[in-house]
Structure 1
Amino acid sequence: MLRRQLDRLHEVVAGGELHEVLVVDNASSDGTGAWLREQAATHPHLHATTLAVNSGGAGGFNHGLAWAVDHGADLVWLMDDDGLPEPDCLTLLLQRDDLDFWGPAVVAAQEPSRLCFPIRLPGGTRVVHDLASVEAAAVDGLIRDVVIPFNGVLVTRELVARIGYPLAAYFIWGDDVEYLWRAQQAGARIATVVDARVLHPATDDLGTPMMGGRTTYNHSPSDLKHYCMARNNTVNLRRYRGWPHVLMFWVKTLWFYTLTKPTRGRLRTSARAAWAGLRGDFTGHRRYLR
């Protein structure tokens, strides 16, 4: 996927809308760093850096955004290595010049009519899973105050100066939500541009139905992802939404792994992660690294 993504970005650079590309190699051991350096040698606009230790997606975005700002970028396009923007994605995003933090609709690569990540439409509690519902809800081609961070999003230098960088300590999961909520708290102008698209591998465990379908839970088969989700979500909800939301999240976790998908080990992991979040300890995920 990284090779396809770089090919697409080279095309965008050739079109004049993108000036420099930085790839952050997160301490890989499979030769990716050497391959990237070879690519950079033949593409003057491509820069590659290999981090000394694996700092997860959060650390990668922290490093990459700081690099871009230090190198004078006024506007930064952020994305994971598993997303593929459509050829006209950046063109459509750049047509909007009245936003601070905005991005494309992120659709399932296997079924582009379906959203890769369910979203809650503004002004209510309705959660939608299909692109048609998003298109129907759009006003002037936008879903205001909603964006899927770090999946082909644009962020302005001015907003970064106001709110800072993604939190590297989060490692994975929840760093994107935290950055979005921080931007919202700062009064940033946020939106999804419905016509712009990024293809992303479907993550079908996200939004697993529970409580008879009345709500969903972000279950992951990965212990590492679950630990980070439970820890970071506890911190995010406590910081930005308050204790009632923290307690509701804990109740949902207890319900899900007791009744929906009984897993005693997950309950223990969840408890350790939540306690770590309350203590401000962001080191516990390391036990799950392979």
Structure 2
Amino acid sequence: MTGQSPRDRVAAVVVTWNRADLVERILRAVDAQTHRPEVVVVVDNASTDATPEVLDRLAGELAVRLDVLRLPRNTGGAGGFHAGLERALSTDADLFWLMDDDGLPPEDCLASLIPALASYDFVGPAVVAEGDPSRLCFPIRVPGSARVVHRLDDVERASRDGVLPEVVIPFNGVLLTRDLVERIGTPREEFFIWGDDVEYLWRARRAGARVATVVGSHFAHPATDDLGTPMMFGRTTYNHSPSDLKHYCMARNNVVNLRDYVGWLGVLAFLVKTVWFYLFTRPDRHRLALSAEAVRAGVRRDFGGHERFLR
């Protein structure tokens, strides 16, 4: 947009796969931003539905410029953000705004994030449940405590001057500085799905990134009721998914992340939680066996096992 300072030049990155209606919805929401990005890099993960035709049509309808990157195969969200952020780095943008195709940013989402980058490198909106913006889509552990909150008003009370430091939910409308991305690189494409966002956040923190949630900025996302399922008599939670693909990737990538950033005790704690959950909370022998396979793959850093679920 004309009149923007270099610090305000934004490249958005949207990753999609076989969700033509949703990608049109989010691109129209990005186009309606009060601070419109200069370009939107749309990564199409080899969609087989009407997504290519929808993107071709939108390129002629929207005010924002679309740069469509069509990949030859489905690389998941991890591969999509890896490729999309690499493409965005080739632009003159100083800020990168990342999101999946099923989210929905209100028109002031981006504009309300930008001022926080005067103090932070990696910021994000409060991710609220679509249809009930009083509820968080993903539970948040309040920094400095063991309290996990599920409602927006709890986050507002825990924030300072409208910001909750040390917490962000990637990749749901997060805004990053070019300097940070150039220092830490792009997401790990081999993760396919699940855990790539956590790894990227932990990598950023390890590099000294200042992280925060801007509570007054919101980003709607479909409710994910199985995330944070209570277990061990309510003492902790587990990220259960009914999808074998998602669970396999979650367990495998969790082992890799915990081993790299927490240590073997973190891996052991995750194993105990997994066994407990599928023995007592939601007994499932098949899921226990799949978990064991995924954990072995994580220990060996074997990232090919999920591909059988794609056939």
TM-score normalised by the shorter chain: which range applies? over 0.9
- Structure 1 unaligned regions, length at least 5: none
**Amino acid aligned to 1:238:** R
Which structure 2 residue ranges, 5 or more long, are not aligned?
A: 1-21
Q: Secondary structure at the match of 1:27?
A: coil
Q: Does 1:24 align with 2:43?
A: yes
Secondary structure in structure 2 of the residue aligned to 1:95: helix
* 1:275 paired residue among 282, 289, 296: 296
The reply on whether 1:120 has 2:127 as its aligned counterpart is no
Aligned equivalents of 2:36, 2:206: Cα separation in 1: 30
Matched, 1:52 2:105: no
Residue identity in the other structure for 2:122: F
Specify the SS of the correspondent of 1:213. Answer: coil
Tell me the residue number matched to 2:176: 155
Aligned counterparts of 1:220 and 1:240: Cα–Cα separation in 2: 24
Q: How does 1:1-290 map to 2 (within 5 A)?
A: 1-12=22-33, 15-43=34-62, 45-96=65-116, 97-290=118-311
On the 8 A contact 2:69/2:84 being kept in 1, the answer is no
Instruction: Give the TM-score normalised by the residue count of structure 2.
Output: 0.90
Identity of aligned residues (%): 61
Which deviates further from its counterpart, 39-48 or 71-80? 39-48
Q: CA RMSD in A?
A: 1.1
SS in 1 for 2:174: strand
Q: CA deviation at 1:41?
A: 3.5
Work out the CA distance in 1 between the residues paired with 2:221 and 2:50.
24
Q: Number of residues paired by the alignment? A: 288
Report the secondary structure of 2:81's partner residue: helix
Q: Provide the C-alpha distance between the structure 1 equivalents of 2:210 and 2:35, rounded to a whole number of angstroms.
A: 26
Normalising by structure 1, we get a TM-score of 0.97
Paired residue type of 1:66: E
C-alpha offsets along residues 254-288 of structure 1, whole Å, 9 cap, x if unaligned?
00001111100001110110100111100000111
Q: Tell me how far apart the structure 2 counterparts of residues 223 and 71 of structure 1 sit (CA, whole Å).
A: 38
Deviations 1:32-81 (A, max 9, x none): 11221222244461121211010000011111111101122210100000
Letter matched to residue 276 of structure 1: A
Deviation by residue 1:220-246 (Cα, 9 ceiling, x = unmatched): 000000000000000000100111111
Shift of the alpha carbon at 1:16? 4.6
Q: How far, CA to CA, are the matches of 1:18 and 1:32 in structure 2?
A: 21
TM-aligned CA distance change 1:203 to 1:52, over 3 Å: same
Residues 136 and 151 in structure 2, CA contact (< 8 A), matched pair in contact too? yes
3-state DSSP of counterpart to 2:80: helix
Write the distance in 1 (CA, Å) between the matches of 2:52 and 2:78.
19
Q: Distance in 2 between the 1:16 and 1:116 partners?
A: 25
CA distance in 2, matches of 1:130, 1:209: 16
User: Alignment partner of 2:233: what SS?
Assistant: helix
Partner amino acid, structure 1, of 2:30 = L
**2:35 touches 2:111 (CA, 8 Å); kept in 1?**
no
Paired with 1:3 and 1:194, the residues of 2 have a C-alpha distance of: 26
